[in-house]
């Protein structure tokens, strides 16, 4: 088969930007399967040279095994094949050949002709993905960075402060904006999270038109499908329920001081995306900036038990917030 003619769908967006919701909506279509994120380009692609000549069985088997050992793949994809079995099924001995076969094997159980990938870090590899799959379709999902930063801080695995969370959103969003310079015009489609949740039917119909598939009403009832185990994660529970717009504008509950901090960090990109800005930026001095950055550097996390302590610490913080302590 010619992988240059494959037409996979790649969803791009910031963490906590709505990409999981969009994955579930598109996967509810009868012709498409998008598995839980695999992070293949993130974990493996930069180190592809370390596998040597992939025409040698030993080398490509090691590549396949590393695909299989990615935590989310190991836990949620349930492929039920070993590396030797997968090798015998490859369309070609390459990174993209292995990638294709993993998605193909996952999709076979749902009998769908189209497959897609949703990993937030995809946005940093769109140029490489486009080279590997020149007929791929890319969906760029934007969400107000002020809301994303609030959402990120409230997850136990995310940045610990608004400043760092805003920087994270800015990085992902700038990567999407930059990617439009090298993706061909008809290969990408831009979607706003706010449109998706406030006017879902028309927005989803627009996505279907871009993907050249017929709109199905089942896409709006994605939450009724048997969800993959990945959706049982507590931080994905919102995406397991009907579409709601109640998470639009959550940044407005912040203090004026915090809202001004957000605008200082991401105001330029919000303007570029045509978001309304209703407060002015404030100054962030050297010490404030460095304190924020130090919170999210490795620091104590490299010490024994540091990561576990950090997760437990943030969970207790969030519990106190739910109880109205702060």
Condensed to tens digits (0 to 9), the pLDDT of residues 310-326 reads 788 778 778 878 888 77
Which residue in 43, 51, 155 sits closest to 102, CA to CA? 43
pLDDT for 240: 84
Residue 95 lies in a domain: yes
Look at residue 303 and tell me whether its pLDDT is greater than 70.
Answer: no
Largest interatomic CA distance in the chain = 60
CA–CA distance, 39 with 51 (Å, rounded to integer) = 18
Give residue 206's domain range: 3-295
- Bridge partners of 192, per DSSP, are 142
The pTM assigned to this predicted structure is 0.90
Say how many C-beta atoms besides its own lie within 10 A of residue 49's C-beta. Answer: 6
Q: What are the C-alpha distances in Å from 318 to residues 69, 151, 237?
A: 32, 12, 16
Residue 209 lies in a domain: yes
pLDDT for 253: 96
pLDDT for 295: 84
CA–CA distance, 47 with 34 (Å, rounded to integer) = 25
pLDDT for 238: 80
CA–CA distance, 134 with 118 (Å, rounded to integer) = 18
Q: Return the percentage of the chain with pLDDT > 70, whole number.
A: 95
Residue range 250-257: mean pLDDT, rounded: 97
Check residue 305 and give left, alpha or beta (phi > 0: left; psi -120 to 50: alpha): left
Task: Return the higher-pLDDT residue of 237 and 137.
Answer: 137
- The count of domains in the chain is 1
Provide φ and ψ at 10, rounded to 5°: -115, 120
Residue 207 lies in a domain: yes
Query: Contact, 161 vs 297, CB < 8 A?
Result: no
Average pLDDT, the chain: 92
Is the CA virtual torsion 98, 94, 8, 131 positive or negative?
positive
pLDDT for 229: 67
pLDDT for 314: 79
Residue 306 lies in a domain: no
Which residue in 321, 38, 264 sits closest to 149, CA to CA? 264
Residue 321 lies in a domain: no
Residue range 11-15: mean pLDDT, rounded: 96
pLDDT for 302: 60
pLDDT for 308: 77
Check residue 106 and give left, alpha or beta (phi > 0: left; psi -120 to 50: alpha): alpha
pLDDT for 298: 66
Residue 315 lies in a domain: no
Look at residue 206 and tell me whether its pLDDT is greater than 90.
Answer: yes
CA–CA distance, 176 with 191 (Å, rounded to integer) = 12
CA–CA distance, 155 with 137 (Å, rounded to integer) = 30
Q: What are the C-alpha distances in Å from 177 to residues 130, 145, 257, 267?
A: 15, 14, 28, 15
Look at residue 263 and tell me whether its pLDDT is greater than 90.
Answer: yes
pLDDT band at 50 (very low <50, low <70, confident <90, very high): very high
- CATH at residue 138: 3.40.50.300
Residue range 120-126: mean pLDDT, rounded: 94
CA–CA distance, 309 with 314 (Å, rounded to integer) = 9
Q: Which of 158-167, 170-179, 301-310 has the lowest mean pLDDT?
A: 301-310
Residue 234 lies in a domain: yes
Residue 303 lies in a domain: no
Residue range 32-48: mean pLDDT, rounded: 94
Look at residue 117 and tell me whether its pLDDT is greater than 90.
Answer: yes
């Amino acid at each position: 088969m010619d992988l240059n003619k494959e037409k996979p769908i790649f969803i791009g967006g910031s963490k906590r930007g709505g990409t999981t919701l969009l994955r579930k909506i598109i996967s509810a279509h009868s012709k498409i399967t998008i598995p839980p994120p695999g992070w293949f380009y993130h974990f493996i692609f930069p180190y592809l040279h370390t596998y040597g000549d992939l025409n040698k069985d030993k080398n490509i088997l090691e590549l396949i095994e590393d695909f299989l050992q990615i935590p989310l793949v190991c836990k949620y994809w349930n492929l039920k094949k070993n590396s030797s079995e997968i090798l015998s099924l490859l369309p070609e001995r390459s990174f993209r050949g292995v990638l294709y076969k993993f998605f193909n094997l996952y999709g076979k159980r749902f009998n769908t002709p189209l497959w897609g990938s949703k990993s937030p870090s995809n946005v940093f590899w769109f140029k490489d993905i486009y080279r590997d799959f020149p007929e791929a379709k890319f969906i760029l999902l934007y969400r107000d960075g002020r809301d994303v930063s609030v959402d990120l801080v409230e997850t136990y695995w995310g940045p610990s402060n608004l400043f760092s969370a805003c920087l994270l959103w800015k990085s992902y969003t700038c990567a999407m904006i930059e990617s439009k310079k090298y993706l061909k015009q008809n290969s990408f489609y831009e979607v706003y999270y706010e449109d998706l949740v406030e006017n879902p039917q028309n927005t989803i119909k627009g996505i279907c038109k871009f993907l050249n598939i017929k709109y199905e009403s089942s896409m709006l009832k994605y939450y009724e499908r048997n969800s993959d185990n990945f959706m049982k994660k507590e931080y994905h529970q919102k995406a397991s329920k009907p579409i709601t717009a109640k998470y639009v504008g959550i940044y407005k509950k912040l203090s004026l001081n915090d809202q001004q901090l957000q605008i200082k960090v991401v105001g330029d990109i919000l303007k570029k995306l045509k978001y309304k800005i209703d407060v002015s930026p404030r100054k962030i001095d050297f010490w404030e900036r460095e304190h924020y950055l130090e919170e999210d550097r490795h620091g104590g996390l490299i010490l024994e038990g540091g990561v576990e302590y950090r997760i437990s610490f943030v969970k207790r913080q969030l519990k106190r917030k739910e109880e109205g302590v702060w």
